């Protein structure tokens, strides 16, 4: 395995590992540490471009008060510490891709991702929370064709893609405001669409956007919302906007950037035969094993009598799952329970 290629974004990766971890939230990250302590290598896949799950995506600056030994720690800081704790074991992170398929192959598991990767693993730890994070999509006719061509996007990977282009930016939060301010420097024209004059963005950024609009550098379409897309189904030529009263106007555009936040959806996990109930996977409490041998579920997605959806409980499940998986990875090898103080941190 190509170990230690942190945050890898290449697609079409083929890799073999001991344990495939689905989800790089706090619980998935701690599972990497626990597996590493038992000399099991991990590949971690997440739909998001960054590790951290809910902590990083939803509340990076909010303090958490119930992490043992941290009277107070922000979501983002907790993730940094978990990443550092897992780092000695050089996990391979495959980010920005969703695990789509899971099938048994010769007593092992083979995972396929939306980026065309194939991961073969002796065991799987499903730490998928409430599902894969993805953008909230506007309900517009013909959207998939424009998404596929890159005309409609939900994030900016390269500012240069928008040089000389007419860009419509929809949304009222920090992403919409910050990208409007940034892209006005390279785009031919930027229109910001929002339902109301007030933005949910940092006040100084909102003030800078107002000033840019006053100078004519950005066009504000307020109070408007997205109504439709114009083009040939792939190449975008315009975006139709409407007010709540139904007044419409069309804005010429090459790109639509929709920043309506993130949502989580279980998506393909529901079809893996795990017997989901209310979006949760029932596990055996002592091992976190699901109804499929070698597939262990931990963290928010796992349920059993007495389950609390807390990070600290997910940490303990990670330890139990790793110990339960050990005999699959090292058949016939006795596993003697040891404290970390006794054995230290084995090299990855
Ligand atoms: C505002 C807020 C405050 C909170 N405060 C606290 C608190 O004070 N204390 C506490 O203990 N808990 C708190 N929580 C809950 C806590 O964040 C969750 O319990 C925790 O994040 C669960 O961790 P996890 O690793 O199981 O899942 P998540 O953090 O949900 O991570 C799951 C990851 O899996 C990925 N994923 C899912 N499916 C796939 C797939 N098919 N392919 C690829 N990737 C996939 C997702 O993209 C996601 O990144 C809070 C939650 C919120 C929203």
Per-residue pLDDT tens digits for 84-136: 999 999 999 999 899 999 999 999 999 999 999 999 999 999 999 998 888 89
Q: What is d(CA 128, CA 121) in angstroms, rounded to the nearest whole number?
A: 17
Nearest protein CA to atom 35 of ligand 1, as residue: 23
Q: What confidence score (pLDDT) does residue 260 get?
A: 95
Q: Considering only CA atoms, which of 249, 250, 254 is closest in space to residue 236? A: 254
- What token pair was written down for 68? 């043992």
For a pocket test of ligand 1, which of 129, 263, 268, 280 has the largest count of ligand atoms closer than 8 A to its C-beta? 129
Q: What confidence score (pLDDT) does residue 8 get?
A: 64
Q: What sign does the dihedral 190-191-197-198 (CA atoms) show?
A: negative
We report the CATH number of the domain holding residue 206 as: 3.50.50.60
Q: What is d(CA 293, CA 108) in angstroms, rounded to the nearest whole number?
A: 10
Q: What is d(CA 283, CA 263) in angstroms, rounded to the nearest whole number?
A: 25
Nearest protein CA to atom 42 of ligand 1, as residue: 98
In a domain, 150, yes or no: yes
Nearest protein CA to atom 33 of ligand 1, as residue: 23
CB 187 within 8 A of CB 164: yes
Total structural domains within the chain: 2
Give every residue of the chain whose pLDDT is below 70, as ranges.
1-9, 348
Q: What is d(CA 81, CA 87) in angstroms, rounded to the nearest whole number?
A: 10
In a domain, 7, yes or no: no
Check residue 26 and give left, alpha or beta (phi > 0: left; psi -120 to 50: alpha).
Answer: alpha
Q: Which domain holds residue 180?
A: 137-260
Q: What is d(CA 46, CA 33) in angstroms, rounded to the nearest whole number?
A: 17
Coil, strand, or helix at residue 230?
strand
- 35, with CB counted inside 10 A (0-12, 13-18, 19+), is buried
The residue among 260, 285, 304 that closes a domain is 260
CB-ligand 1 contact for 25 (6 Å cutoff): yes
Looking at the whole model, is its pTM more than 0.85? no
In a domain, 1, yes or no: no
Is 118 found in the same domain as 33?
Answer: yes
Q: What is d(CA 308, CA 63) in angstroms, rounded to the nearest whole number?
A: 19
How far away, in angstroms, is 224 Cα from ligand 1 center? 33
How far away, in angstroms, is 29 Cα from ligand 1 center? 11
In a domain, 231, yes or no: yes
Q: Considering only CA atoms, which of 247, 244, 248, 189 is closest in space to residue 220? A: 189
Closest ligand 1 atom to residue 100 Cα is 41
Give me the half-sphere count of Cα atoms (radius 13 Å) on the Cβ side of residue 27: 29
In a domain, 309, yes or no: yes
Is 172 found in the same domain as 25?
Answer: no
In a domain, 103, yes or no: yes
Nearest protein CA to atom 26 of ligand 1, as residue: 299
How far away, in angstroms, is 15 Cα from ligand 1 center? 26
Nearest protein CA to atom 7 of ligand 1, as residue: 64
Nearest protein CA to atom 36 of ligand 1, as residue: 132
Is 171 found in the same domain as 85?
Answer: no
Is 324 found in the same domain as 217?
Answer: no
Q: What confidence score (pLDDT) does residue 337 get?
A: 87
Q: What is d(CA 298, CA 285) in angstroms, rounded to the nearest whole number?
A: 10
Full 3-state SS string of 109-170: EEEEECCCCEEEEEEEEECCCCCEEEECCCCCCCHHHHHHHCCEECCCCCHHHHCCCEEEEE
In a domain, 23, yes or no: yes
Q: What sign does the dihedral 176-182-183-184 (CA atoms) show?
A: positive
CB-ligand 1 contact for 314 (6 Å cutoff): yes
The residue among 260, 282, 307 that closes a domain is 260
Is 231 found in the same domain as 142?
Answer: yes
In a domain, 128, yes or no: yes
The residue among 241, 260, 279 that closes a domain is 260
Is 203 found in the same domain as 104?
Answer: no
Is 241 found in the same domain as 273?
Answer: no
Is 253 found in the same domain as 177?
Answer: yes
CB-ligand 1 contact for 31 (6 Å cutoff): no
Is 153 found in the same domain as 105?
Answer: no
Q: Considering only CA atoms, which of 74, 134, 55 is closest in space to residue 310? A: 55
Q: What confidence score (pLDDT) does residue 268 get?
A: 93
Is 154 found in the same domain as 141?
Answer: yes
CB-ligand 1 contact for 36 (6 Å cutoff): no
CB-ligand 1 contact for 311 (6 Å cutoff): yes
Is 124 found in the same domain as 219?
Answer: no
Is 220 found in the same domain as 149?
Answer: yes
Q: What confidence score (pLDDT) does residue 3 get?
A: 38
Q: Please, which residues have CB within 8 angstroms of residue 134's CB and are 6 or more apart in sequence?
A: 47, 98, 262, 263, 264, 265
Nearest protein CA to atom 41 of ligand 1, as residue: 99
Q: What is d(CA 299, CA 319) in angstroms, rounded to the nearest whole number?
A: 11
């Amino acid at each position: 395995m190509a170990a230690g290629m942190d945050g890898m974004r290449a697609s079409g990766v083929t890799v073999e590992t001991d344990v495939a971890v689905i989800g790089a939230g706090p619980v998935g990250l701690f599972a990497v540490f626990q597996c590493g302590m038992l000399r099991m290598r991990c590949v971690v896949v997440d739909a998001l471009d960054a590790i951290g799950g809910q902590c990083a995506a939803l509340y990076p600056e909010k303090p958490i008060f119930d992490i043992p030994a941290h009277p107070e720690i922000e979501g983002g800081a907790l993730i940094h510490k978990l990443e550092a704790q897992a780092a000695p074991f050089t996990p391979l992170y495959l980010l920005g891709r969703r695990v789509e398929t899971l099938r048994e192959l010769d007593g092992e598991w083979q995972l396929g991702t939306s980026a065309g990767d194939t991961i073969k693993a002796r065991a799987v730890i499903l730490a998928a929370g409430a599902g894969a994070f993805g953008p909230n999509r506007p309900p517009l006719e013909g959207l998939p064709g424009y998404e596929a061509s890159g005309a409609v996007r939900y994030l900016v990977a390269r500012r240069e893609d928008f040089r000389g282009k007419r860009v419509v930016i929809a949304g009222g939060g920090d992403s919409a405001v910050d990208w409007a301010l940034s892209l006005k420097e390279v785009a031919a024209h930027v229109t910001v669409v929002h339902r109301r004059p007030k933005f949910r963005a940092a006040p100084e950024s909102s003030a800078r956007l107002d000033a840019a609009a006053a100078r004519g550098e950005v066009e504000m379409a307020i109070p408007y919302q997205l109504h439709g897309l114009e083009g040939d189904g792939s190449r975008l030529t315009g975006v139709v906007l409407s007010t709540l009263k139904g007044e419409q106007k069309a804005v010429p555009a090459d790109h639509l950037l929709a920043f309506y936040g993130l949502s989580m959806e279980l998506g393909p996990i529901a079809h893996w035969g795990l017997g989901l109930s209310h979006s949760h996977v029932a596990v055996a409490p002592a091992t976190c094993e699901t109804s499929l041998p070698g597939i262990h579920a931990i963290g928010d997605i796992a349920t059993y009598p007495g389950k609390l959806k807390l990070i600290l409980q997910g940490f303990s499940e990670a330890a139990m799952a790793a110990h339960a998986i050990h005999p699959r990875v090292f058949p016939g090898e006795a596993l003697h329970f040891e404290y970390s103080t006794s054995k230290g941190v084995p090299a990855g």
